[in-house]
Chain A
Amino acid sequence: MDADVVIIGAGGGGAVAANELGQKGIKVLVLEAGPWYGNKKWPDPNADHGAVSSSSYEDLSIEILKKNFTDLEDDMNNFEYGKFRWGPANREKPSWPRIQGDRGFSWQNSGVGGSTLHYFANSPRAFPEAVDNVWPISYQELIPYYEKVEAALPVASAPSTPKEDIFYYGAAKAGWELLDSKDVRTPGYRPQPNAILRPNLNGEGTESVNPNLQPVGCTLRGHCVNGCHIGPTVEGVAKRSTLVSYIPRALRTGNVEIRPNAFVIQVLTDADNEGLHAAGVLYRDTWTGEIVEVRAKVVVMSAGGVESPRLWLNSDLPFNEWVGKGLINHWFDCVSGIFDEEVLLDAIGIGEIKPFVGQNAAARFDYPGLGVAETFGFSPGLYSSLLYGTSYKGNSIYNRVTETEPWDVEGLVTGEQLKVFMKDYKRTLSILIFTDDQVNPNNYVTIDPVIKDENGSIPVIKYIPNKIDQEKRNELAYISSDILRKAGAKIVIRSNWPPDIFIHIACTMRMGYVTDTNCEAFQVKRLFIADNSVLFNGLGGPNPTLTTQALAVRTSEKISELYFS
């Protein structure tokens, strides 16, 4: 045995499971496909193989993290060769391929921290009505796990900068209520519950991180998506990706070893009187191509909504018609408003919104039954490509907006018009929409029957929302436009994103269908799932990470009770 438990993936779910199991004295080996930023054993993680693994808190280095995370958006977030791409650490090699619809991309990160490296750290709970009498477990059962993760990250109410100020102004003027509960049952707006240390030069309110630290907290510099490195130590970094929250804590248990650059290509099983059960994995070293076998008593899949079903299928595990099926994606949209300086001065006392100032998505609007709308803003390259360069409605110059539609422009914005709109970048407010889309077996992740890369048959992602999803999304676009208008926007632009922008990829290995309520696979004992794929549905629209993390805590308890008590 190389470990008690091997965890596949050090992202939003896997890092939490590693810590929880490590805290219980269980020996854990985490295999992560991508690089490790901010660690002395990999001073230049994109250029050199570096060490094989690290299991020491002392290896973490804020100096190296600050060197790795450059604040530059093409360097960090270019979808093909950025440090936060879905690909190997070595940036001379291409990213890992996926087959998906024409206009989209799947925005995920490899690396210790996974997609929490670029995430906005938004940490709302599921809508209770989307869980109760729907999931195989109750909302009430989730609450203690939510509370545990909220305290550990920690989660707090986001502070406000001009882009949130103007959103609150518009939402209040549009007649919506301010929500004051974490358990959202009625529509309204609220400061974002997020996992970002409060701007706080005294270190107050951050004791749960580590009493020995002197965290400076968030400086509102607007680089959540490009990689936060603000803090005196790795563990004290303001945005609480698992790279800086659960991973350091896991290392401090002394029971957790993490190997980056290790792409798991097969789950190994044994059959005995217990039946078919997981026995280990094979992984491929992404630098050398060497295949390594690892044996463990329990295997946890935390490879994400695309790679977990892919790995199941590539491992020839028993047929289950729900593996990969039921993909939800919250079919995003984006609605933006451009404001005049005088209007902003009147409304919020400052003439600019500055999308690059403040936490990237710090105010939200929740509507159980429809979904979510949240503000967002960041540096201009990504911002323009998402606002004006992403649509499935074609070029806006060919789209006639009807009188009943509350926006002025719909679709791609190019040419002189793009330059005119981007000239007003500093007075633009954008709202991101997440639709409460429905689980549908016709939306899925599978493997291509022919095409392989070095890690096996490549994933195919298919997602076509239905009419109800479309209606909900439209309604959210109307509400968002109305908020922008009420706030005083002179021009409203609806991007109308294609369904194939994959960001909240979930429900491809659902509890109740692929796993039991302990998140253990029905057909393969000792194989657990701790990532977005195990969610039963799209939570009603809320960002999935917190719920996945809460479940990962719960699953770790189950693993400990079932196999290590």
Chain B
Amino acid sequence: MENSENFISNGKYNYRYLRLEALVNAMIPRTPDLAQLYGTNMYYGALDFLTAEYLTMVLNYIKANILETMNWEERLSSSLIRFTMLGYYSEWFGYGTTRLNNPNQRILEFYPLSWEQVDYPGPAFSYISYEKEYNQINKEILNEF
């Protein structure tokens, strides 16, 4: 699959790409107000984390899947919203220079800044220290009812 199609070989700023940029920007915009309230990292949005590239890549997959006779553009409007959020809040931007490679050839180079925005620490081996048993909760928390 040519993931780099449409924004490298055809030039990054073609019409389709601009449309996707407009979409992701509306979904997850830059937010200077939030940056003032909560810190600089809250400024950045989908344009900064190249979510339109992600959408282009996913669309190339969907296009290859859906045969020409199917009216795919119309069917995709809601999937695009879901994919925008998956692209933005998942690890994808952290693949850095390998982000447009075939999925087997990507390497996580850093944690995406979107994880900082939601305070997600990334995968951990264990959270065993949080464990409680229901009976314990029942005693500590619920016995008042």
B145 to A172, Cβ gap below 8 A? yes
Residues of B within 8 A of A74 (CB): 86-87, 90-92
Q: How many A-B residue pairs have CB under 8 A?
A: 212
Distance of A162 Cα from B137 Cα, bound (Å): 10
Q: Are B89 and A419 in contact (CB under 8 A)?
A: no
Given the complex of chains A and B, what is the CA–CA distance between A386 and B125 in angstroms? 24
A357 and B130 contact, Cβ closer than 8 Å, known pairs A80-B65, A95-B65: yes
Say if the beta carbon of A356 comes within 8 Å of chain B.
yes
The one of B67, B85, B130 in contact with A451, judged by C-beta atoms closer than 8 angstroms, is B67
Stretch binding the partner chain, chosen from A218-226, A260-268, A513-521:
A218-226
Contact A415 B65 (CB under 8 A): no
A106 at the interface (CB under 8 A from B): no
Question: Does B118 contact A103, Cβ atoms closer than 8 Å?
Answer: no
| Bound CA–CA A420/B72 (angstroms) | 32
CB distance from B133 to the nearest CB of A (A): 6
Say yes or no: is A105 at the interface (Cβ < 8 Å to chain B): yes
* Contacts A102-B75, A160-B137, A453-B67; A381 near B85 (Cβ below 8 A): yes
Report chain B residues within 8 Å CB of A356: 120
Q: Tell whether, in the assembled complex, residue A161 and residue B131 are in contact, meaning their CB atoms are under 8 Å apart.
A: yes
- 8 Å CB contact of B103 from A78, A104, A415: A78
Contacts of B58 in A (CB 8 A): 78, 80-81
Bound Cα distance A94, B31 (Å)? 36
Q: Which residues of B lie under 8 Å from residue A412 when comparing CB positions? A: 81
Q: What is the 8 Å Cβ interface bit string for chain A, positions 148-159, against chain B (1 contact, 0 not)?
A: 000000000101
The chain A residue sitting closest to B44, CB to CB, is: A419
Asked if B119 and A425 sit within 8 Å, CB to CB, the answer is yes
Residue A71 CB within 8 A of the other chain: yes
Shortest CB–CB separation between residue A553 and chain B, in angstroms? 29
1/0 per residue A300-334: CB within 8 Å of B? 00000000000000000000000000000000000
Q: Quick check: is A75 within 8 A (CB to CB) of the other chain?
A: yes
B-contact 0/1 string along A377-413, CB 8 Å cutoff: 0011111111011100000000000000000000010
B7 within 8 A of partner (CB): no
Count A interface residues, CB 8 Å.
78
Are B103 and A425 in touch, CB under 8 angstroms? Answer: no
Query: For residue A75, which residues in chain B have a CB less than 8 angstroms away from its CB?
Result: 91, 103, 106
Provide the B58-69 mask, 1 if CB < 8 A to any CB of A, else 0: 100110111101
Nearest chain A CB to B92's CB is how many angstroms away?
Answer: 5
- Whole-angstrom CA separation of A420 from B132 in the bound complex: 30
Q: How far is the CA of A104 from the CA of B61 in the complex (A)?
A: 17
CA distance A412 to B80 in the complex (A): 12
The verdict on B83 contacting chain A, using a C-beta distance below 8 Å, is: yes
* A349 close to chain B: CB less than 8 A: yes
Chain B residue, CB-CB nearest to A395: B81
User: Which chain B residues in 116-145 approach chain A with CB under 8 Å?
Assistant: 117-120, 123-128, 130-134, 136-138, 140-142, 145
Interface residues of A in 38-79 (CB under 8 A from B): 44, 46-47, 71-75, 78-79
Contact with B along A458-482 (1 / 0, CB 8 A): 0000000000000000000000000
CB proximity of A70 to chain B, nearest CB, Å? 8
Inter-chain contacts of B34 with A (CB < 8 A):
416, 419-420, 423
When chains A and B are docked, how far (Å) is the Cα of A165 from the Cα of B141? 8
Task: Verify B29–A416 contact, CB threshold 8 A.
Answer: yes
Interface residues of B in 72-112 (CB under 8 A from A): 74-75, 77-79, 81-92, 102-104, 106, 108
Residues on the B chain within 8 Å of A423, using CB: 34, 38, 42, 117-119
CA distance A466 to B45 in the complex (A): 40
Note all chain A residues with C-beta closer than 8 A to B64: 93-94
A274, CB-defined interface residue at 8 Å: no
A386 to B89, CA, bound (A): 12
- Chain A residues contacting B82 (CB-CB under 8 Å) are 79, 105, 385-386, 389-390
| A384 B130 Cβ-Cβ under 8 A | no
- Whether the Cβ atoms of A221 and B27 lie closer than 8 Å is no
Q: Mark B1-23, 1 if CB is under 8 A from A, else 0.
A: 10000000000000000000000
A173 at the interface (CB under 8 A from B): yes
Q: Are A102's CB and B78's CB within 8 A?
A: yes
B134–chain A nearest beta-carbon distance, Å: 5
How far, in angstroms, from A385 to B85 measured CA to CA in the complex? 5
Known: A75-B103, A97-B66. A168 touches B130 (CB 8 A): no
* Contact indicator A103/B78 (Cβ below 8 Å): yes
Query: Are A381 and B27 interface neighbours, CB within 8 A?
Result: no
Complex Cα distance, B75 from A191, in Å, reads 39
Contact of A389 among B1, B85, B140 (CB under 8 A): B85
**Least distance between B105 CB and chain A CB atoms (Å):** 9
Q: Assess whether A291 is interfacial by the CB under 8 Å rule.
A: no
Most chain A beta-carbon contacts within 10 A, residue among B31, B38, B137:
B137
- Nearest-neighbour CB distance to chain A for B31, whole angstroms, equals 5
A426-B119 CB under 8 A given contacts A381-B85, A390-B82: yes
- Find A92's partner among B28, B87, B102 (CB 8 Å cutoff): B102
Whether A456 sits at the interface, judged by CB under 8 Å, is: no
Q: A80-B58, A451-B69 are in contact. Are A415 and B38 (CB under 8 A)?
A: no
B110 to chain A, nearest CB (A): 13
Complex: chain B residue closest to A157, CB-CB: B134
The answer to whether residues A220 and B127 also contact, given A97-B66, A349-B140 and a CB cut-off of 8 A, is: yes
Known: A75-B103, A389-B81, A418-B27. A426 touches B91 (CB 8 A): no
Docked Cα-Cα span, A220 to B131, in Å, equals 8
Known: A160-B132, A223-B123. Is A78-B104 also a contact (CB below 8 A)? no
Instruction: Give min CB distance, A219 to chain B, whole Å.
Output: 4
> Are A414 and B27 in contact, with the CB atoms below 8 A?
yes
> In whole angstroms, how far apart are the Cα atoms of A546 and B122 in the complex?
32
Chain A residues, Cβ within 8 Å of B102: 91-92
User: How many angstroms between the C-alpha atoms of A99 and B69 in the bound complex?
Assistant: 11
The interface residues of chain B lying within 8 Å CB-to-CB of A451 are 67, 69-70
CA A191 to CA B33, docked complex, whole Å: 42
Whether A343 is near chain B, meaning CB under 8 Å from some CB there, is no
Q: Please tell me if the beta carbons of A380 and B90 are within 8 angstroms of each other in the complex.
A: yes
Top 6 nearest A-B pairs (CB, nearest first) are A381-B90, A94-B65, A219-B126, A71-B123, A94-B64, A103-B78
Q: In the complex, given contacts A102-B77, A358-B130, A381-B87, what are 9 additional A-B residue pairs having Cβ atoms less than 8 angstroms apart?
A: A44-B104, A78-B103, A159-B133, A168-B137, A222-B127, A390-B81, A414-B81, A419-B31, A422-B118
5 A–B contacts, CB within 8 A, in A order: A74-B87, A75-B103, A159-B132, A412-B81, A426-B118
